[in-house]
């Protein structure tokens, strides 16, 4: 889509949103519409010119195609009401109401079982995973989500060597080609803003699966979803963010999203060299979210509902390996931390972990990080469903 994707449709500054919302690789020809037996097509006209029934087909050539939403009655599932978003590009697109609604769909996804009618709701849809840098975990999660819903996948593990990109093709041209082969594109890129550029070009939905130092919105959503599933609420919670708070995009996005809830308190626990930056602190303050910095992991752990640990990223320290080693060993979640944590509290981590959570923590019921990874599957199933067939 041509403009920055915002949540509220009424505030969308674009005149072409209709086109993408009704794309489903179903470009019904006027003259065959009556022959289609099982679908209830809802016609919507796109492009700058309005077209009338029976007008000459050649008018359609300039991509002003007449597309239709196929509304199919599947047992237990109603589809059709359009999802508010055309693309999933950044965490800022989501307000509290949308988040809650997405979480409801994610919960349904947990119940979808193999061979049940629900597992075929994306049958016939094709997702392209266009990964300009490898991220097998994220790629497999999306591909599993698509296949668990009956959809199919076109994979490219290393699109950077996509022969066309290597030959100097622009991202825009690549997107225009790949959108001809698929119904939705999940894209990971090494450049911040790449997903937004792709969405501005594509006539089909784009999901940002991480664009360099930029955004990774599905990770942010699965983190909030996990808190809701584990703690049972999002208002009134206390969350300790631990580790590399300066560079970790997950903790930054999480802090941003938590500001949408009431009476949240956030504790920052990090080595001095990787403290949370002022932009997020200022944002939290402006939203009335209480926050505080602490050097005492044990005290914070004893108060919090969630201890969110992160990996100290070696690559951020350059040649100062001494600083890296010092930062890395400073805040470890181990059995001693578990001992002071409340019974209902949980430990989270975006994975992969090194030794910032010791393996003896894994057996504790409060170790939520593998359930958190699994929740990524449900969130991605929900988003794929919503973007492709609506609510």
Residues with a catalytic annotation lie at 137-138, 167, 188, 216
Q: Give DSSP secondary structure letters for 242-304.
A: ES-TTT-HHHHHHHHHHTTSTT-EEEEE--GGGPPPHHHHHHHHHTT-EEEEES-HHHHHHH-
Q: List binders of a copy of itself among 153-192 (CB under 8 A).
A: 154-159, 161-164, 167-169, 172-174, 176-178, 180-182
Count the site residues for a copy of itself by CB under 8 A: 70
Chain mean position to CA 327: 29
Of 185, 226, 224, 221, residue with least CA distance to 203: 185
Tokens representing 245 are: 């708070």
The reply to whether 147 sits near a copy of itself by the rule CB under 8 A is yes
**Based on CB atoms, which residue is closest to a copy of itself, 9 or 74?**
74
Question: Which listed residue (10, 34, 38, 54) binds a copy of itself by CB under 8 A?
Answer: 38
The reply to whether 318 sits near a copy of itself by the rule CB under 8 A is no
Chain mean position to CA 118: 21
Question: Which listed residue (193, 351, 358, 391) binds a copy of itself by CB under 8 A?
Answer: 351
Rounded distance, CA 68 to CA 209, Å? Answer: 28
The reply to whether 332 sits near a copy of itself by the rule CB under 8 A is no
Q: List binders of a copy of itself among 9-28 (CB under 8 A).
A: 24-26, 28
Rounded distance, CA 8 to CA 98, Å? Answer: 10
Rounded distance, CA 202 to CA 147, Å? Answer: 23
Q: In the chain, helix, strand, coil percent, each to 5?
A: 40, 15, 40
The reply to whether 294 sits near a copy of itself by the rule CB under 8 A is no
The reply to whether 82 sits near a copy of itself by the rule CB under 8 A is no
Residues that bind a copy of itself (CB under 8 A): 24-26, 28-29, 32, 36, 38, 61-63, 70, 72, 111, 113-116, 119, 123-126, 128, 134-137, 140-141, 143-144, 147-148, 152, 154-159, 161-164, 167-169, 172-174, 176-178, 180-182, 230, 311, 351-354, 359, 365, 370-371, 373-374, 377
């Amino acid at each position: 889509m041509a403009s920055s994707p915002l949540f509220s449709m009424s505030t969308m500054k674009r005149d072409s949103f209709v086109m993408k919302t009704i794309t489903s690789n179903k470009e019904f020809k006027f003259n065959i519409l009556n022959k289609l037996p099982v679908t209830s097509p809802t016609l919507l006209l796109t492009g700058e010119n309005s077209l009338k029934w029976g007008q000459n087909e050649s008018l359609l050539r300039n991509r002003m195609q007449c597309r239709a939403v196929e509304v199919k009655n599947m047992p237990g599932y109603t589809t059709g009401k359009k999802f508010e978003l055309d693309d999933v590009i950044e965490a800022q697109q989501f307000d509290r109401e949308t988040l809650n609604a997405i979480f409801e769909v994610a919960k349904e996804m947990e119940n979808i079982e193999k061979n049940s009618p629900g597992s075929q709701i994306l049958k016939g849809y094709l997702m392209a995973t266009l990964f300009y840098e490898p991220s097998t975990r994220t790629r497999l999660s999306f591909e599993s989500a698509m296949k668990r819903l009956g959809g199919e996948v076109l994979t490219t593990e290393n699109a950077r060597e996509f022969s066309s990109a290597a030959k100097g093709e622009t991202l825009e041209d690549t997107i225009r080609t790949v959108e001809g082969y698929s119904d939705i594109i999940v894209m990971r890129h090494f450049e911040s803003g790449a997903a937004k550029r792709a969405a501005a070009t594509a006539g089909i939905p784009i999901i940002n699966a991480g664009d360099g130092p930029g955004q990774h919105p599905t990770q942010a959503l699965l983190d909030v979803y996990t808190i809701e599933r584990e703690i049972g609420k999002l208002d009134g919670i206390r969350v300790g963010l631990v580790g590399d708070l300066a560079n970790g995009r997950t903790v930054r996005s999480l802090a941003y999203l938590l500001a949408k809830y009431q009476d949240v308190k956030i504790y920052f626990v990090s080595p001095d060299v990787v403290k949370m930056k002022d932009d997020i602190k200022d944002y939290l303050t402006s939203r009335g979210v209480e926050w505080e910095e602490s050097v005492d992991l044990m005290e914070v752990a004893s108060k919090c509902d969630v201890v969110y640990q992160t990996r100290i990223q070696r690559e951020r320290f350059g040649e100062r390996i001494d600083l890296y080693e010092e930062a890395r060993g400073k805040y470890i979640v181990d059995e001693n931390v578990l001992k002071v944590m409340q019974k209902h509290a949980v430990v989270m981590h975006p994975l992969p972990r090194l030794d910032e959570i010791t393996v003896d923590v894994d057996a504790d019921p409060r170790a939520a990080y593998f359930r958190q990874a699994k929740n990524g599957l449900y969130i991605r199933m929900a988003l794929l469903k919503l973007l492709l067939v609506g609510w």
